[in-house]
Amino acid sequence: MLALAMAGAREKASPRADRGPQGETGKTGETGPQGPVGPPGAPMARADILAVVEDQFYDVRKRLDLQLVRTGELQAQLDAQRNEMTRLREQVELVHGLLKQLVARDS
């Protein structure tokens, strides 16, 4: 019921005035209590961590190599299509010229 009364009061209120400048930030409050200590992690030797990181880098290099090969394949396909389009344009221009000659002769 209180929410309905507040909503009605908002509807009846006049439009809000412009806000003034923001005041200065207050002082920081006290730090809260420290939380419980989490469980200890699995003990790993430095060499084991480095081996895991090396494996991850190997996987990334392998994926990049595959992407490079695929990019080369796509480029070769695009080049072949570009060459085919050039040949087709030349043939269309030849046919267009022949048709112009035939139409001019028949006229």
Give domain limits for the chain. 45-107
pTM of this prediction?
A: 0.47
Tell me which amino acid residue 104 is. Answer: A
Whether pLDDT at 2 is above 70: no
Q: What is the pLDDT of residues 39-76, one digit of tens each?
A: 888 788 889 999 999 999 999 999 999 999 999 999 99
DSSP result, 14-78: PPPPPP-------------PPPPPPPPPPP--HHHHHHHHHHHHHHHHHHHHHHHHHHHHHHHHH
Report the distance separating Cα 101 and Cα 95, nearest Å.
Answer: 10
Report the distance separating Cα 20 and Cα 60, nearest Å.
Answer: 54
pLDDT bucket at 17, cuts 50 / 70 / 90: confident
